[in-house]
Amino acid sequence: MKGFAGFFLLGCSALLLLISLMVWLFWRRNRRRVQAVQAKVVENVRRRDARGRPLYFPLLEFQWEGEYKRLESAFGTNWEQFQPSERVSAFYDPRHDRMAVKPPVGPGVLALCLFVISLLCLVGGSMMLAAML
C-alpha cells in the first residue's frame, strides 16, 4: 500500500509541477504585454448605464513610441474620479490598442503555491518509497 501511495504522490507531483509551469508562463506572457504609462486626463466622457445613471470614463492622452494617443478608459465610475489635466498612471495594451487593467498577481501566486505543493508531494512520495526499501 505504501508503494502505491508513494508512486501516486510522485505522479501528483509531476502533474502539479507541469500545471504550475503552464500557469506561470501564461501569467508572464500576459503581464509583459501590458505597459505602464503616465497619462493626462483630457476630459471625463459621460455615458449612461443600463438604468440610466451617469457613468464617467476618463479620456486619457499619453505618448507611446513617439506619438500621442488618446484612448478612453474602459472603466467608468459614477462620479468624476479625475479632473481634466490631472496626471495619472495607467496601463496600455499596445497589442490591442486599448487601456487595460493592472496585471493581477493572483496567477503568479497560484503558480508558486502549486509549485510548493508539488515539492511536498515529491518529498512525501520519495519518503514513502524509501521506507519500503
CATH of the domain at 78: 2.40.50
Q: How far is CA 58 from the centre of its chain?
A: 22
Q: Which of 26-30, 82-86, 116-120 has the least mean pLDDT?
A: 26-30
> 14 with 61, same domain?
no
Q: What pTM, to 2 d.p., does this model score?
A: 0.57
Q: Give the tens place of pLDDT for each residue, 37-49.
A: 999 999 999 999 8
- Res. 87: pLDDT tops 70: yes
Joined grid coordinates for residue 52: 440610466
The rounded distance, in Å, linking the Cα atoms of 106 and 55 is 28
> 42 with 86, same domain?
yes
Domain range for 20 is 1-33+105-133
pLDDT grade for 103, boundaries at 50, 70 and 90 = low
> 28 with 39, same domain?
no
| pLDDT on residue 102 | 67
Residue 23 has φ and ψ, to the nearest 5°, of -65, -45
Number of domains into which the chain is organized: 2
> 90 with 51, same domain?
yes
